[in-house]
Amino acid sequence: MSLIPSTDADADDLRAVAARLLDDAVYAVERVGGGGNNRIYQVEDLGGRRYALKEYLNDRIDERDRLGAEFGGLRFLWLQGVRDVPRRVAVDRDRSVALYEWVDGRPVSAPGAGDVDAALDFMARLKALAAVPGAERLPLASEACLSVGDCLRQIDRRRRRLSAVDDARVRRFLNDGFDAARAELAPAGADIEAELPAAHRTLSPSDFGLHNALRTADGRLVFLDFEYFGWDDPAKLVSDFLLHPGMALSDGLKRRFHRGAVEIFAGDQDFVRRLRQVYPLFGLRWCLILLNEFLPERWARRAFAGNADRAAALDRQLAKAEAMLALARRQDGGLPNDA
């Protein structure tokens, strides 16, 4: 046996849950990590088979069905033959937990061209699956942006939420820099409410990137985290991949991804123009997402997932938000130049 049985009370409770879901005895449950909204445990049964047990945070403020989106999204992908995502095993909706296959792999800490190409290939397959019968029944991705107006409303909603934060650094950031950038970058006109036609939408993990992938022993990538899976504008999918602060992509790799994305969505003649228009807006949106740790209720979610040093996290997130704001205010919004 590779795991030592945990004496943690939560793990003991989850051992019973896992045994019931597997209909088999469980040798050990060990906490191994988690994201901003969940805890991950490795489960090992008496036969040495391993599983990932994911416990989802129940949040009265954020009522998005992350468990349903992920479990349902992975079911759809596996039915369509997609195998570079985890296989779902069992779910307990009442207990807010799900079991998935255990993926043996390591983080993609130094991405290369092959990794970017794997992400592009996965994105192309998601686009193709948008035409599969049954895909139309999938939900919108979390915080989908099907118009420029959607994006601006999300920015303003996040800005209002942060205005209640009692921190001089946040007030200074918002009042002295962010608000001016919001005024400069926001387009006007009735067309900002034009909704993207269904034919040009794509399926999206929403939090898509190499930060949510593992490299297996044979070198292939397995993509994780489908808590926000659903329909969205590919311009948002591409923007978030390029802007995500959780990845350290070189300028060359960003250009490679941008070129590939333009090819994948070439059937949408408005894609390039729309991407250029919304890219700096998504940069502004990321500024505010990075400051979520200043919100007490959001920090409670991070604490649930195992984060402890809030002071260091706040300093780090504010520095990232300032860098993101400088990027968004560039003439091109920081969008990679393929030249």
Residues 61 and 122 in one domain: no
Q: What is the 3-state secondary structure (H, E, C) of 14-76?
A: HHHHHHHHHCCCEEEEEEEECCCCEEEEEEEECCCCEEEEEEECCCCCCCCCHHHHHHHHHHH
* pLDDT tens digits along 8-43: 557 778 899 999 999 988 988 999 876 667 889 999
- pLDDT-derived band at 308 (thresholds 50, 70, 90) equals low
How high is the pLDDT of residue 339? 46
pLDDT band at 259 (very low <50, low <70, confident <90, very high): very high
Strand-pairing partners, residue 222, are 214
Span 212-227, mean pLDDT?
A: 96
What is the extent of the structural domain holding 58?
Answer: 9-101
Residues 90 and 36 in one domain: yes
> Does 334 map to a domain?
no
Mean pLDDT of 234-261: 95
1 within domain boundaries: no
DSSP state for residue 91 in the 8-state scheme: E
Q: Is residue 339 part of a domain?
A: no
Domain count of the fold of the chain: 2
Query: What pLDDT score does 58 carry?
Result: 75
Summarize pLDDT for 56-73 with one digit per residue, the tens: 987 666 678 999 999 999
Domain of residue 95, CATH code: 3.30.200.20
Structure tokens of 42?
Answer: 């490795």
Q: Looking at residue 306, what is its pLDDT?
A: 56
pLDDT score of 63: 72
Does residue 119 sit in the same domain as residue 227?
yes
Establish if 338 belongs to a structural domain. Answer: no
Tokens 């820099």 locate to 177
Is residue 198, in this structure, part of any structural domain at all?
Answer: yes
pLDDT (0 to 100) of residue 283: 96
* pLDDT over 90 percentage in the chain: 76
Asked if 80 and 125 sit in the same domain, the reply is: no
Using CA atoms, how far apart are residues 253 and 258, in angstroms rounded to an integer?
A: 9
Flag whether 30 is in a domain. Answer: yes
Cβ-Cβ contacts under 8 Å for 278 (sequence gap 6 or more): 145, 148, 151, 233, 235, 236, 239
The answer to the question of residue 333 being in a domain is no
